[in-house]
Structure 1
């Protein structure tokens, strides 16, 4: 399965629309593009393999594999990119500003309900990140 994240870049943050086969899943918020600098920039555009991951902090969430120059880039809940993200992607139900959104846990659940059954069957799930 291929998911596509269409991004729009702003100096204060990055907004995105996550889709499967042209159908909207949720919106996303990220840090601004700052040349892939660790902990302050969103990650480069490209195609990434997704894996399930669990942590005490986020519960079940998604890990992006083989991000150039980065480690532990996740898709996890957050409603304010600058306050809550260190390069990761946060799904949100609505964008409320540049790098801001709401109901992130609800959006993550919608995404994991779609992705986790496939990952549990060892079906590859990829994320293509591109400019809108």
Structure 2
């Protein structure tokens, strides 16, 4: 399965549209692009494999594998990139400004279900991040 994240960059945050094989899944929010600096920048554009991950903080969520110079880049719920993200990607139901969104948990549950079902079928899940 291939997911495509198409980004629009703003000084205060990055907004995106996540599609799966041409079908809209959800919008996304991220930190602004600041040269891939840890904890303050979104990640570089590129191709990343996705996998399941568990943590006490986020429970079951989605991790991007082999992000250059970064660790633990995740898809997890958040509605304000500047206040709640440190390089991760948050799915949102609706965008409300640069790096801001609404109803992230609802969007995350839908995305996680889609990705986990593919992984359970032993499919690889590829994320392509582009502008």
List runs of 5+ in structure 2 lacking aligned partners: none
Equivalent runs, 1:80-99 vs 2, <5 Å: 80-99=80-99
- Two-structure CA RMSD over aligned residues (Å): 0.6
Relative to the length of structure 1, the TM-score reads: 0.97
Distance in 2, Cα, partners of 1:51 & 1:12: 29
Runs of 4+ in 1 over 2 A off after TM superposition: none
Matching residue of 2:74: 74
Which SS does the other structure have where 1:129 is aligned?
strand
Equivalent runs, 1:30-49 vs 2, <5 Å: 30-49=30-49
Distance in 1, Cα, partners of 2:53 & 2:104: 17
List runs of 5+ in structure 1 lacking aligned partners: none
Relative to the length of structure 2, the TM-score reads: 0.98
Distance in 2, Cα, partners of 1:117 & 1:13: 30
Matching residue of 1:121: 121
Matching residue of 2:112: 112
Number of equivalences: 131
Matching residue of 1:5: 5
Q: C-alpha displacement at 1:121, in angstroms? A: 2.7
Distance in 2, Cα, partners of 1:122 & 1:87: 28
Q: C-alpha displacement at 1:122, in angstroms? A: 2.2
Matching residue of 2:15: 15
Q: C-alpha displacement at 1:128, in angstroms? A: 0.1
Which SS does the other structure have where 2:106 is aligned?
helix
Name whichever of 53-62 and 26-35 sits farther off: 53-62
- The Cα offsets for residues 39-82 of structure 1, whole Å up to 9 and x where unpaired, read as 00000000000000111111111000000010000000000000
